[in-house]
Structure 1
Amino acid sequence: MTNKKTYASLDSGRGINYWRHAPPLRAEARRVYPDHEFEWATPRLESFGELVGDVIADNADTIDEHGPILHTYDEYGDVRNEVEYHPAQKENERLVYESGIVADAFGPPADRDEPVGLIHTLTMQLLLSYVDTGLVCPVSMTAGAALVLRNHDSDDSLDDYFSALTSRSYDSLAEGAMFLTEEQGGSDVGANETIAEPVDSDSSPGDSRTYELTGEKWFCSNIDAEGTLALARRPDAPSGTRGLSLFLVPHETRDGRLNDQRYRRLKDKLGTISVPTGEVEFHGAEAYLVGEPERGFKYMATMLNWERITNAVGAVGIMGRCLVESKVKAATREAFGEAIQEYPLMRRDLFEMAVDFDAALTFAMEAGKWLDRYERDHDDRDAYRLMRVLAPVAKYRTARMAVETASYAMEIQGGNGYVRDFVTHRLYRDAQVLPIWEGTSNILSLDLLRTFEKEAAHEVLFAHVESLLSGIDHPVLDELSSLVADECDSLKDAFATLVTADDEYAQYEAKVLAEYVFDVVTASLLLSNAQREVDDAGDARSVIVAKHFIESAFGTSDARGILDGEALALEYFDTVVYYDRLDPASVTARWT
């Protein structure tokens, strides 16, 4: 267990076990994993947290200074398409993939009869995001590409690629990617201009699943992946998204030939240096049809839902590292003769940062739980609808929270936070891509409206919130639960208003609705967590977390609370920031 003295003994937030230093993460993993899988996963997450905080963290700093280099042509001017990586990048990739971060969810580990759920991959990605969000990108896309093939490769024609994407050996691994964006389309995927021409095979003229792609993709992360998914339009296919088919485009063809594409250049990005992102031109590139023609956008939605939730847990990982670095600095930096964590404003800042971490963590893991449940049982339509409503909201809100948290973590470091030598500089640069990857906040908010309109996701969402609130009976939580129940009723009214409003007004209010969904669901989850922690562990830390979040989100006060004389951050600083146990009887006496 970590405490205040632990942080006072550290020079920085590295060389530590991030799993061990995040009690809220351990509690959330216990909540969302099936019991038997959590017992199996715990020692592995402990080991991975140690590995990430040590070797992988050190390598990540090196990689940020020595990022990938693209060699488009060889010395004779022929296309080479080679990305040169620093040895530290190769070491990190080997360590991460051979830890089972992808493989364990698609094939049984050596000591199990069955694979574990995707929630395990998400939890490991969250830990990896403490040190390198850029590396999380190819890991996530490798798992996502494998998921698409598992779900949609109906004739098993791509089994060789599925096996390579899920390999336990780094030497035989194929990484995945998703080339979705085109310059003229951006978020308008239906404007896709890449063309797919069928290639007749000798054995099956007119019935080949091999195509040649011509066109270009504008924002291609993990550019040299061997298992890239891309959308293209076959001849005479309808316009818009309904005419798109999904293809797997390899770096090298099955006969070992460099594919007919050109990696034009790498983007000079602000952050996520470890993942090479560039522009790709297809010049009759060999590609293999995934599933049925003209169902590509639906298939790609499987990847997008997965990527949005991994984006959310990545945001939480950055927030967690920012919190660790901030606590170390606050415990070790003296000003005017005292550690700065002893000053009321710094206590308030760290307290609020810790509550934000708990809130973002809880919502992201909840979204991951329902995706995991749906992927275990595709007949569970309620799990699907909950996943669909939570995924875009999780990605939208946690991304913005990570940017704000990283910005303030830089400030806590003082001038050093703005200097490249210190990790908060990189955390902020990496966090800034999160609101952009996998759909901007506007796109995500409009997607939320679609889940309500087309999938009636509001029905299962409101039922879920009400179910969470029905289990609250602790006297300190009772009033908070009533407040959240009232807000849930107001959210229903807001939804009903937008359902009957014209499209322009509904779109205008879509982001407000998404934020409202986040606040109501997060509040109900935090209350449920608090009730369980009191009942099972005899600890009321989560009561304070829930109280602060709910009163900040929904409470009304005169003069912005200045008149009420309450200072939770001063009274419960060690409880929330350093995880000191809090006797439930003390909070009962305090507020009832």
Structure 2
Amino acid sequence: MSRANNHQGMSEGVDYGQFEEGRHVNYWDLDHPLERALRRTYTDEEYEWAEPHLAAFGETVGRTIADNADYVDDHGPELHTYDDLGEVWNHVRYPLEQIENDRLAYEQGIVADSFRAPPGREEPMPLSHTLSMQYLLSYADVGFDCPVAMTAGAALVLEKFDDGDLTEYADALTSRTYDDLIEGAMFLTEKQGGSDVGANETRAEYDESVDCWRLYGEKWFCSNIDAEGTLALARTEDAPEGTQGLSMFLVPHADPDHGDGPTTKGDRIEDGPLEPEAVNDQLYRRLKDKLGTTAVPTGEVEFTGAKAYLVGEEENGFKQMTEMLNLERLSNAAAACGLMGRAVLESTIYAANREAFGDTIDQYPLMRADLVDMVVDHEAATAFTFEAARLLDVRERRERTGRESADATGAHAIESADDAYRLMRLLVPIAKLRTGRMAVDTASYAMEVHGGNGYVNDFVTNRLLRDAQVLPIWEGTENVLSLDVLRALERENAHEPLLEAIEGALESATHPALADAAETVDAEYHDLAGALATLAGEDGEYAQLTAKRLAHYVFDVFTAALLLEQAQVALENDDGRPALIARRFVETTLEDRPARGIASGDRFALEAFESIVRGVPVEPETLAEPTAADD
């Protein structure tokens, strides 16, 4: 696709009928919500640097990585635990297409640019930059994104907690050169514990003879099983029970006493599988036979005295893990949004080309309504996710530079990093909770749009749905995340910055085209505030009973206010399309419509289809008064 149809030049919208399918295109060029989110999240200088890099990466993902992803789904990684002589080998064999994808992603800075100053800059990009690239990568395959996300998470943990002993590993995790890179992983789940991390039984014993720790125990669900820089939780001798007794360790893939420094991707490509004497004392027992995400090898690991390095202080592992989880959960949400974007793109292209009863199916009212709502869901999920990412960046900027961020944008900008952290702690689990479910629903309907072909493995919608189903599970299920929402409210008083942010966003939405929607959201805002006050006076059992409903309610009200605020800014710049997005989101999530709207005469999906789905510009003056229904 020519750059004439990119973000800056879509005066007539996108003719999706020109494409045969959602590949061999530039995903950045075709993605409106990510651009809007990053213009809000980045400083002007950051966006100016990032835009051409994201465009180049969108081209790489659309042209090469997407094709490789289909091959890898059919020919995924294979585990060879033992060599021909029965010695432990722990060798995972990857198809060359997967290695090419990894090299392309890492060497374009998907992790490095958020931890090291990239070429042309004096400082690293914010963490939202790795999230934006992960979002684009997930247009191709969320399975590829899992190791990337954990590599960034491991790098963040070492940046925050390592005292310098693991500098070689930190440098390798953030390398822009693939041959010098190591990937990260996080082994948490144990068979008896599951989501109850405090029940972990893996133990750590210090071995003076080799001047490092040794781990004993098993991990049950280990994604990126052969990562060269795995983080694992274990309990040292005499440590207390529960989460407070856990310490964090970095476990190398190879025995660290063999070789000079971490075993990198280049070492493994050049030298091949480990020799028996170079194997760390761990056993990769088997890979899981999963529904989807074939690209990331997930298996069972038994530590049999594996050499490991303590990260930070003893018995501080759970706190360190939560810092990683904030980024991991946002990675999960960004991946969900990217997958939704691919599902919407495939559906829109298919509907613009598939003919039935003498016309393309995107000309029929039911399909138009479905595509409009798929686009609105995608834009809402992306706006919420990257607002949470923006708040994380406010805090991380202060930790990195020692000063408050001076670039917060929007009418409800958080004034301090402390308030940003409190609100971020609430929004991150909600972002992961809601977007994971939305990705499943969107991928499922994309399959339905394609009919029988969509159900067949030859078409990408089959894989999108299989891959999407893990997104509500990774990094915590809805129930686990809902309880985390309660903890954020109880421990951080996160309701205070939440209500302040919603109120500020509503105060900014002054355009007449937003009046009715803003009135609806304002009423819900007061109901939400009342619900939070009521919940504060109830017992813990009742709070847990309502936690999931509360999490979804916060998402709906906060997202509605956020979309209205963004629509106000766009209207001031003569762009009416975001107002249509905001109004539709409010209508479908917050309005109580008698007879489910059947008798309302509402023709919104028909009248707004060209603007919402194809990106045809909307003049703000046409939005001031709602269009009267036909008699």
1:237 matched residue in structure 2: 239
Residue deviations 1:384-435 (CA, integer Å, cap 9, x gap): 1111101000000000000000000000001000000000000000000000
SS at match of 2:284: strand
**Unmatched tracts of structure 1, length 5 or more:** 203-207
Alignment of 1:36 onto 2:57: no
1:172 matched residue in structure 2: 180
Structure 1 position 163, deviation (Å): 0.4
1:311 matched residue in structure 2: 332
Q: 1:472 aligns with which of 498, 503, 509?
A: 509
Alignment of 1:189 onto 2:197: yes
2:411 matched residue in structure 1: none
Task: Give, in whole Å, the separation in 2 of the partners of 1:199 and 1:462.
Answer: 52
Structure-2 change in CA distance of 1:4 and 1:381 (3 Å) = closer
The answer to whether the 8 A contact 2:13-2:616 is kept is no
The answer to whether the 8 A contact 2:256-2:280 is kept is no
Q: How does 1:458-497 map to 2 (within 5 A)?
A: 458-497=495-534
Residue deviations 1:67-89 (CA, integer Å, cap 9, x gap): 00000001111100000000000
Task: Give, in whole Å, the separation in 2 of the partners of 1:49 and 1:312.
Answer: 18
1:137 matched residue in structure 2: 146
Q: 2:72 aligns with which of 41, 63, 72?
A: 63
Normalised by the length of structure 1, the TM-score is 0.97
The answer to whether the 8 A contact 1:164-1:174 is kept is yes
1:225 matched residue in structure 2: 227
2:250 matched residue in structure 1: 248
Alignment of 1:406 onto 2:443: yes
Structure 1 position 5, deviation (Å): 5.9
In structure 2, what residue type is equivalent to 1:295? N
Task: Give, in whole Å, the separation in 2 of the partners of 1:586 and 1:303.
Answer: 46
1:126 matched residue in structure 2: 135
Q: How does 1:320-469 map to 2 (within 5 A)?
A: 320-378=341-399, 380-469=417-506
Alignment of 1:156 onto 2:164: yes
In structure 2, what residue type is equivalent to 1:249? V
Q: Which runs of 4+ in 1 moved over 4 A?
A: 2-5
Structure 1 position 479, deviation (Å): 2.7
Q: How does 1:55-134 map to 2 (within 5 A)?
A: 55-134=64-143
The answer to whether the 8 A contact 1:476-1:591 is kept is no
The answer to whether the 8 A contact 2:511-2:568 is kept is yes
The answer to whether the 8 A contact 1:4-1:331 is kept is no
1:297 matched residue in structure 2: 318
Task: Give, in whole Å, the separation in 2 of the partners of 1:589 and 1:465.
Answer: 25
In structure 1, what residue type is equivalent to 2:287? L
The answer to whether the 8 A contact 1:316-1:360 is kept is yes
SS at match of 2:624: helix
The answer to whether the 8 A contact 1:212-1:285 is kept is yes
Structure 1 position 253, deviation (Å): 2.7
2:62 matched residue in structure 1: 53
In structure 1, what residue type is equivalent to 2:548? K
Task: Give, in whole Å, the separation in 2 of the partners of 1:550 and 1:158.
Answer: 49
The answer to whether the 8 A contact 1:214-1:282 is kept is yes
1:573 matched residue in structure 2: 609
SS at match of 1:509: helix
2:307 matched residue in structure 1: 286
More off after superposition, 107-116 vs 70-79: 107-116
The answer to whether the 8 A contact 2:14-2:614 is kept is no
Q: How does 1:254-293 map to 2 (within 5 A)?
A: 254-256=256-258, 257-293=278-314
Task: Give, in whole Å, the separation in 2 of the partners of 1:37 and 1:4.
Answer: 27
Identity %: 58
2:588 matched residue in structure 1: 552
More off after superposition, 347-356 vs 470-479: 470-479
SS at match of 2:120: coil
Residue deviations 1:538-583 (CA, integer Å, cap 9, x gap): 0111111111111111111211111110111001100100110011
In structure 2, what residue type is equivalent to 1:221? S
Structure 1 position 330, deviation (Å): 0.4
Structure 1 position 24, deviation (Å): 2.2
Task: Give, in whole Å, the separation in 2 of the partners of 1:567 and 1:447.
Answer: 40
Structure 1 position 490, deviation (Å): 1.1
Normalised by the length of structure 2, the TM-score is 0.91
More off after superposition, 19-28 vs 52-61: 19-28
Structure 1 position 381, deviation (Å): 1.1
Q: 1:21 aligns with which of 27, 30, 35?
A: 30
Task: Give, in whole Å, the separation in 2 of the partners of 1:151 and 1:515.
Answer: 32
In structure 1, what residue type is equivalent to 2:382? L
SS at match of 1:225: coil
SS at match of 2:315: coil
Task: Give, in whole Å, the separation in 2 of the partners of 1:9 and 1:37.
Answer: 33
In structure 2, what residue type is equivalent to 1:35? D
Q: How many residues align?
A: 584
In structure 2, what residue type is equivalent to 1:313? A
The answer to whether the 8 A contact 2:173-2:183 is kept is yes
Task: Give, in whole Å, the separation in 1 of the partners of 2:326 and 2:626.
Answer: 43
